[in-house]
Amino acid sequence: MSAADRVCELNATFTAPTLNVAWLLCDQHPADRVCFTVVESTGEAATLTFGDLAADSHRYARALQGLGVGPGDRVATLMGKSTDLITVILAIWRLGAVYVPLFTAFAPQAIALRLEGSGAHVVVTDPDQRHKLDPGPDMPDDPQRRVVVTGTSAAPADASLIDLVANASPEPVPALTTSGDGPLVHMFTSGTTGKPKGVIHPVSYIAGWQVYLEYALGVTPDSSYWCAADPGWAYGLYAAIVAPMAAGIPSLLLSGGFSAETTWRTLVDRRVTDFAAAPTVYRGLRAASVPVPQGLRLERASSAGEPLTPEINEWADSALGVAVHDHFGQTEVGMTLANHHHRELARPLKTGSMGRPVPGWSLTVLADDRDEPAGADILGRVAIDVAASPLMTFRGYQIPGQSHTKFSADGRYYLTGDAGRVDDDGDFFFSSRDDDVIIMAGYRIGPFEIESVLAQHPAVAECSVIGAPDEVRGEIIEAYVVLREGTDASPDLAGELQTLVKTRYAAHAYPRTIHFLDALPKTPSGKIQRYLLRERRRAEAANPEPR
């Protein structure tokens, strides 16, 4: 079957007027087939078959149903990678409810924004994350909120997932149908001019990810597949969990955060043939003092989340035995450009290229001053031709009016917000982001949220947050702060500001450096010019002062 025919087939499946999400992702597959292997940091592993997942998710669905969860309700999880997480997600969809993923590195303020924005009143959380939901300055009390705790202990005010499941009806929940337009996931994307925007993915959004899995990643039923991205974000949720389930292909999840030792061990012990991760993972492996182990079986390696810099493949060819293929996508639309692994679409890699459109997508580069193609090798705005992209599902953000800058005036083009060029062969090359989103270790971070936290400190008059170059993470967060009159800059104050962001926004997203300035660069109208700060910082990184 050609790629075009496969796109039509999957699109018809996931855009059908009547469909059952649980059947498409789980129940249609052989009960004895392994769907997930969850590996602990110790190397121990637990397997979950499609039959196990089907039976367990029915019981979990009954448990959630007992809390009043029904079609259209938002249910959030604040959980690490585990069989419980997978089972809870499928249970949510069995009930026709909508899943709200929460990244476990978020602090209460970031969590509260997403809970309030989605209207989620049920949160399933691991015990070590439970304290983030306690009412306080950053977590408004919600009398309707029901907190369900995994594990063996729960506070009296909370519900225990184990107890709920044990006391639930043993009868399977009735099959519930929806449509391709029905809501599946409610998540939030980063921005720079306001709060993160809500994006509601329809069921049909899955089709694009299965196409991506099969053609860009090149995963097959014979693969030993591992996507190392965190499922609290779109790439990890869909590439590590949803797309493999839809395709009936086993997937590997590794509990805990990144370490070179556990990554190498898992690649060898699990005989991984297909590996996908953010460039920061590859940079972390390259920078670590841990020697490359014997016994790697990699056949395909892929990267997404931020641009892949050339030194990765200079290292990967010898260390991994394969080149890393760069891919490009966004939370709103999914994955749209790739250096494909599938033999039908595979081409020689070009340094710095994001590749070509994934089947089902049509992209171009528009001129900066008009909504027309810029021409080969001319820098412009990377855009999606909506009418020529059958996998396009994004129509707008949760709040009407927020997406007017994402489309051309005639609605033909979706504007990615990235600048780039396309050569005569049709290969796309990333140049820069035309907004101020910071991409650190594969995570897209909006400066606005961090600036909002910093501004809460009584010593801060105003501030600006940028991404500064970093060899391992690609970018790191740095902050430029103007202090209130009468306040002196000091290392202790810088530490206070860093801690404030860690505790009120996210542990991973604190400014690694605080720069104190007398004034921030601004336009005549008073808007802060972040690009000048970035240019200054890059110049400093390129020409460090002698010690």
pLDDT in tens, 23-76: 999 999 999 999 999 999 899 999 999 999 999 999 999 999 999 999 999 999
Note the pLDDT of residue 193.
Answer: 41
Yes or no: say if 216 and 460 are a contact pair by the CB < 8 Å rule. no
Distance CA 338, CA 83 (A): 30
d(CA 139, CA 56): 32
Cβ neighbour number for residue 255 with a 10 Å cutoff: 17
pLDDT in tens, 370-420: 999 999 999 899 999 999 999 999 999 999 888 888 999 999 999 998 888
- Dig out the tokens for 305 from the structure: 């989340």
pLDDT-based confidence at residue 444 (cuts at 50, 70, 90): low
Taking CA atoms, 542 is separated from 467, 471, 545, in Å, by 15, 12, 10
**Average pLDDT score over residue span 463-481:** 90
194 pLDDT more than 60:
no
Close Cβ partners of 424 (under 8 Å, ≥ 6 residues apart): 376, 377
pLDDT averaged over the chain? 92
- Give how far the C-alpha of residue 493 lies from the chain's centroid of Cα atoms, to the nearest Å: 32
If DSSP codes are grouped into helix, strand and coil, which group holds residue 224?
Answer: coil
Residue 87, class by beta-carbon neighbours within 10 Å (0-12 exposed, 13-18 middle, 19+ buried)? buried
pLDDT per residue over 131-169, tens digit each? 999 999 999 999 999 999 998 877 888 999 999 999 999
Contact 91, 64 (CB under 8 A): yes
Place 325 in a pLDDT band, splitting at 50, 70 and 90: very high
Once rounded to an integer, what is the mean pLDDT over residues 312-335?
Answer: 94
The least confident of 8-12, 428-432, 498-502 is 428-432
Half-sphere exposure in the Cβ direction for 253 (13 Å, CA): 29
- Using one digit for the tens of pLDDT, what is the confidence trace for 375-385? 999 989 999 99
Residues 286-317: tens digit of each pLDDT: 888 889 999 999 999 999 987 887 888 889 99
For residue 524, is pLDDT > 70? no
> Taking the model in full, what pTM does it have?
0.87
pLDDT at site 280: 82
Q: Hey, CA dihedral for 153, 171, 185, 242, is it positive or negative?
A: positive
Planar angle of CA 144, 133, 40, nearest 5 degrees:
125
Which fold, 441-542? GMP Synthetase; Chain A, domain 3 (3.30.300)
Q: Do the beta carbons of residue 419 and residue 431 sit within 8 Å?
A: yes
In this predicted structure, the answer to whether residue 542 has a pLDDT above a threshold of 90 is: no
User: What is the rounded average pLDDT of the residues 450-462?
Assistant: 88
The sign of the dihedral angle between the CA atoms of 529, 491, 504, 513 is: positive
**3-state class percentages of the chain: helix first, strand second, coil last, to nearest 5:** 30, 25, 45
Q: State how far the Cα of 472 lies from the Cα of 483, in Å rounded to an integer.
A: 31
Q: First and final CA of the chain: distance in angstroms?
A: 62
pLDDT confidence of residue 191 = 47
Question: What is the model's pLDDT at position 226?
Answer: 98
Rg, C-alpha atoms of the chain = 23
Pick the CATH number of 50-202 from 2.70.160.11, 3.40.50.980, 1.10.260.40, 3.40.47.10: 3.40.50.980
Which pLDDT score is estimated for 157?
Answer: 86
Give me the pLDDT at residue 379, please.
87
Q: Where are the domains of the chain?
A: 50-202, 441-542
